[in-house]
Amino acid sequence: MTFALGKGISTSKTDQRGHARGEGILYMVWRRFRRHPGAMAGSIVLALILLSVIAVEFSPYSSDASNMAARFEPPSWAHPMGTDALGRDYLTRVLYGGRISLSVGIMVVAITLCVGVSVGALSGYFRGWLEPVLMRITDAFLTLPAFLVLILLSAIMREIELPFFQRNNVVTIALVIGLLSWMTFARLTRAAILILREMEYVTASQGLGASPHQVIFGHILPNMIGLLVVEATLELGYAIIEESGLSFLGFGIQPPTPSWGNLLSNASEHFIKHPWLAIFPGLMIFLTIISVNYIGDGLRDAFDPHKVLKRMGEV
Amino acid sequence: MAQYIARRLLQAVLLLFVLSIVMFALVNLAPGGPLAGQGQTRRVRPERVAMLKRQFGLDKPLPTQYMIWLVGNDWMRVDLDGDGKPDEYGTRRGVLRGDFGFSFRTRKPVLEEISLRLSNTFYLTVVTLLVAVIIAVPVGILSALKQYSSFDIVATTFSFAGQAIPEFWLGLILILIFYAWLKNPFTGEPLLPSGGMYSLGGEFSIPDRIVHLVLPVTAGALGWIAWYSRFLRSSMLDVLHQEYLRTARAKGLKESRVIYKHGLRNALIPMVTMFALDLPYLITGAVFIETIFSWPGMGRLYYQSAMQRDYPVLMAILIISGALMILSNLAADILYGFLDPRIRYD
């Protein structure tokens, strides 16, 4: 990635502001990002969540073996988040759930990036008959009552026997959510490309005989990386919320596979008497989303994509 | 302008048509098709199912089925007993004439089911939106006027938090606090009810209605307060740096007049259109709030119908909310041009 960035927007070797030679865009972004307290705090919290989600492998408790002698134990040193209706250590369950929820989130970001950037790049770069067609499709998707369609799709997927998509697993849910949320990327990419494709260096490389593939991936996309990174961060948050919401209603990830959403859903039967069951999974969702949003905000300030785009537009 | 609206309306109708085809195909993807629910509630003889199928036109290929769904089959003779000869006229009038079929669950006409719930959802939505706007507008203005003050920092932090709280979790936590933990000091009963629109068996009373509104509205409004206050803050900040405000000050207007007459008015324009765009989300977003607080509205109906594969109801709610989304998009665009004469239609 550094290489691609270097080709695109690296600051020149002798920066006017007297930065050291070879100081790249990534370092500049990091310097500005560091000054955003919310973004730094968010990064630390998110890193902690990621670490514990990975480290749960070494938990002394199993994530699905029940222990009926230890049902509904309130939080204690042995079980920091208590135990659930089957006597399973809730912390272990919540962290495994986090693994699922975060995987869905990351997969959705990957899917929406691929689909959205392709649609946006194709319509923005080639124009012609392709652009109105792709943009009308994008508009049509934007006018869908997305969450209702999401419920319907996953309710149907839950019943269809498909070899790869059994019982609403991580891949199915990620695909369904991704299918309904790539439009922002498409619009953003198209708008950016419409500006970037008129830039002189693009004309120059086209004149030198670069193929559309080379121009898009070598010159245009690297210049809108900031924009995409910010949007991808926010998308991660949306995706996690949508997955938890879907699983909360019972249409997402199916138990016994835990996810933050279906843990909350199971908790809703017992939470009046055993409140910890509802508090902790939701708290994890909340901490993840707020961290992600602060990181997105910090990245936005650091990359300042709008200012960059505006400047590019004026040239 | 009239031409613009006409063109947009035409596009909207086309879009709705395509949307309905996609939805129809999707629903028919489901195993068993639209009659899947029939065998479950009561034992139905196979001949009876076959007759029902013919009566509803389900023995026809999908495109024909779609036509029947759209325009009905009461204008053509239907072969009821399967002997290849048409017997009597069909009974369906089609969606275009308001016939969304019958709910599998209750066997009542779908439209009747929905209209019962729509007003409940509308009631909850309007109150939620009012509360959200009444709180968000002053917070957003103050935040922008005193940028980086301690009030602004608190409000911004709150809005970050408010946008990150999933409303289904907030709902559970509110029930925990105000239903399970806090008790009415006089009667010892829970401070607030955990669900429903009113006390069952009680007579109609306004305090009772309000008490039942507090938790769902709080859970629903928090995210909107966060979102609108942040939105208004940034659009207000945009406006505050405009040159016409400097002009207004330079010609000696009072500061309050500058801010409210010249500043706020312009800052509210994007907010009003945002409002129009968000309206359908409020209705579809009600799925969580209505499910958690057992509110008898459209969102909960949708959830129950999805749970029990009540496809006619699902279809109808999807089409209605799709139409709402398209219309509110159109309304937002028209409103924007109306409020801001700088926008031109072409």
Q: What's the pLDDT tens digit per position in B130-146?
A: 999 999 999 999 999 98
Prediction pTM value: 0.86
Closest by Cα among B53, B65, B54, B71 to B25: B65
Asked if the model's pLDDT at residue B155 lies above 50, the reply is yes
DSSP structural state of residue B265: H
Asked if the model's pLDDT at residue B283 lies above 80, the reply is no
Using CA atoms, how far residue A56 sits from A38, A50, A215, in Å, is 27, 10, 44
Please name the residue that has the structure tokens 């138990």.
A255
| Coil/strand/helix, residue A63 | coil
Tell me the C-alpha distance between B79 and B62, whole Å: 17
Q: What's the pLDDT tens digit per position in B58-113?
A: 777 888 888 888 887 777 777 767 677 777 777 777 788 878 888 877 888 888 88
Q: Do B176 and A241 touch (CB under 8 A)?
A: no
- Residue B95 at interface with chain A, using a CB cutoff of 8 Å: no
Closest by Cα among B288, B293, B15 to B302: B288
**Which residue of chain B comes nearest to A149, CA vs CA?**
B318
- Average pLDDT on A225-236 reads 89
Tell me the C-alpha distance between B283 and B324, whole Å: 10
The two three-digit tokens of residue A210, written as one number:
């670069």
Q: Which residue has the higher pLDDT, A260 or A168?
A: A260
Q: What are phi and psi of B156, to 5 degrees?
A: -65, -45
Tell me the C-alpha distance between B282 and B124, whole Å: 10
- What's the confidence (pLDDT) of residue B43? 62
Tell me the C-alpha distance between B209 and A56, whole Å: 47
Q: Do B163 and A151 touch (CB under 8 A)?
A: no
Closest by Cα among B209, B239, B221, B120 to B162: B221
Residues of A contacting chain B (CB within 8 angstroms): 38, 139-140, 143-149, 151-153, 155-156, 159-160, 237, 241, 244-245, 248-251, 264, 267-268, 271-272, 275, 278-279, 281-282, 285-286, 289-290, 293-294, 297
Residue type at position A232 = A
Please name the residue that has the structure tokens 């919320």.
A241
In a mutational test of the A interface, the residue from B168, B238, B328 whose CB has the highest number of chain A CBs within 10 Å is B168
Closest by Cα among A8, A2, A120, A106 to A49: A106
Instruction: Pick B15's closest partner by Cβ from A140, A153, A248.
Output: A140
Asked if the model's pLDDT at residue B316 lies above 80, the reply is yes
Q: What's the pLDDT tens digit per position in A48-57?
A: 999 998 888 8
Which ipTM did the prediction report? 0.85
Tell me the C-alpha distance between B176 and B195, whole Å: 12
Q: What's the pLDDT tens digit per position in A106-135?
A: 999 999 999 999 999 889 888 788 888 998
- What's the confidence (pLDDT) of residue A290? 95
In a mutational test of the A interface, the residue from B20, B27, B104, B172 whose CB has the highest number of chain A CBs within 10 Å is B172
Tell me the C-alpha distance between A306 and A75, whole Å: 47
Asked if the model's pLDDT at residue A8 lies above 50, the reply is no
Asked if the model's pLDDT at residue A174 lies above 90, the reply is yes
- Average pLDDT on B299-311 reads 87
Instruction: Pick A293's closest partner by Cβ from B160, B314, B324.
Output: B160
What CA dihedral angle connects B218, B219, B222 and B227, to 10 degrees?
-140
One DSSP character per residue, B219-263 reads HHHHHHHHHHHHHHHHHHHHHHTSHHHHHHHHTT--HHHIIIIII
Distant-in-sequence, close-in-space partners of B254: CB < 8 Å, separation ≥ 6: none
Q: Do B284 and A148 touch (CB under 8 A)?
A: yes
- Residue B248 at interface with chain A, using a CB cutoff of 8 Å: no
Q: Do B169 and A237 touch (CB under 8 A)?
A: no
**Which residue of chain A comes nearest to B308, CA vs CA?**
A155
Instruction: Using the CB atoms, write b or e for A264-283: b if 16+ within 10 Å.
Output: bbbbbebbeebbbbbbbbbb
Residue ranges of B 179-238 with Cβ closer than 8 A to chain A: 179-180
Tell me how far the alpha carbon of residue A147 is from its chain's centroid: 17
Residue ranges of B 255-314 with Cβ closer than 8 A to chain A: 280, 284-285, 287-288, 291-292, 302-303, 306-307, 309, 314
Closest by Cα among B325, B306, B322 to B314: B306
Residues of A in contact with B303 (CB under 8 A): 151, 249
Q: Which residue has the higher pLDDT, A216 or A45?
A: A45
